[in-house]
Amino acid sequence: MTHRIPAVRILATGGTIAGAAPSPSDTSGYRAGALPVAALLAALPPQDDVRLDARQLASLDSKDALPEFWQMLARELAQAQADPDVDGVVLTHGTDTLEETAWFLHLTLALAKPLVLTGAMRPATAASADGPMNLLQAVQVAACPQAARHGVLAVLNGQIHHARHLRKAHTHRVDAFDSGEAGPAGFIQDGYVGWFWPPRPCAPRFAPDTPLAPVDILFDYPGISVSMVDAVLRGGTRGLVWAGYGNGSISGRIEPLLREAGRQSLAIVRATRGGAGRVGLPGTCGFIQAAGLDPYKARIALMLALGAGTPPGALQTLFDTLSYE
Ligand code: ASP
């Protein structure tokens, strides 16, 4: 019986992993997305146990990614998932909004094969660039069939993260990503893939072409401007994620505005600016609780839920389920 070598497709979108700076000592003054995917491939050691093919989807600094970009990726990735010549997919991406893209894809894609996002904190031209090892390890995880049973994953700095928990938590270190209190999903070392978590249910909650409703995020702080909040509420948004204090508390000067907006059929989700922990206040008086989702993930869930026409009465259950699935 012949053993088929796994085929991994690399889809490139730009970011620092494809960044170029004038000098190898420069890790900040570079242009993201400057190099083509062929240059990323050329930096990998020869691969005997995986077949690679690569395509350039975009050359973006991910700070400029828009929701339409997520939808374009979902279409491309659905095609790659359906391609019989592909066993796993790696998506290279800027690190600034990698967590948003990973979460959107997790919520919208049916995964039959591994999907692994990766990026880099140092440009490709840097001495000791982290991109080549991140890409190599992402390919190794994407070639591992069990990875498909963990939902959308990110591989950075030798760690494997679930899209559900992934967050960028540092401005410049190569270990910039973590999974908060949940901890990483696993690790990769010298090609060995180890899991800390068992496989998890990963049925998509929404169709990839679900329209995305406009939703804003506002953070609370002492002295927050009432007129600024009012302007956002009247600015055409269909929902608001309120990143409140601690357990989702809202400044007393603002709370009546949010209650009124909720009565006027805006979906108001109460999250925390605190960085960790569940938001779940008793007696919530019309607010939806983000439960375990941070404000950025809560926003994307709400954009999809409102775009899909989820009834208001079903939103809390959705947030509770997404938090702890
Ligand atoms: N601004 C870059 C980006 O997100 C940062 C990076 O990739 O590390 O595309």
Q: Which domains does the chain have, with CATH numbers?
A: 7-195 (3.40.50.1170), 215-322 (3.40.50.40)
Mean pLDDT of successive 10-residue stretches along the chain, which has 325 residues:
84 97 90 95 94 97 97 96 96 98 96 96 96 98 95 98 96 95 96 93 88 98 97 96 95 95 93 92 77 97 98 93 85
Q: Is 178 in the pocket of ligand 1 (CB under 6 A)?
A: no
The rounded Å distance from CA 90 to ligand 1 centre is 17
pLDDT at 183: 96
User: What confidence score (pLDDT) does residue 283 get?
Assistant: 59
DSSP-derived 3-state class of residue 288: strand
Please say whether the beta carbons of 39 and 124 come within 8 A: yes
Distance from C-alpha of 170 to C-alpha of 158, rounded to nearest angstrom: 16
Give the per-residue pLDDT at 322.
93
Looking at residue 324, its pLDDT comes to 79
Q: What is the pLDDT of residue 218?
A: 98
User: What pLDDT score was predicted for residue 201?
Assistant: 72
Q: Cα of 122 to ligand 1 centre, how many Å?
A: 9
Dmax over Cα atoms in the chain, in whole Å? 72
Q: What is the pLDDT of residue 284?
A: 64
Which atom, in ligand 1's list, is nearest to the CA of 14?
A: 9
**275: Cβ–Cβ under 8 A, 6 or more apart, which residues?**
180, 294
Measure the CA dihedral 128/131/136/138, to 10°. Answer: 140
- pLDDT for the residue numbered 3: 66
Contacts 24+ apart (CB under 8 A), 37-40: 37/10, 37/12, 37/92, 39/124, 40/10, 40/12, 40/92, 40/124, 40/131, 40/132, 40/135
Does an H or E element contain 151, and which? none
Find the helix or strand (DSSP H, E) in which 142 lies.
helix 131-142
Q: Does residue 131 line the site of ligand 1, with CB under 6 A?
A: no
Among all residues, which ones are annotated catalytic? Answer: 16
From the CA of 257, how far away is ligand 1's center (Å)?
36
Residue 285's pLDDT is 67
Relative orientation angle of helices 98-108 and 67-82, to the nearest 10 degrees: 50
- In the structure encoding, which two tokens stand for residue 218, read together? 């506002």
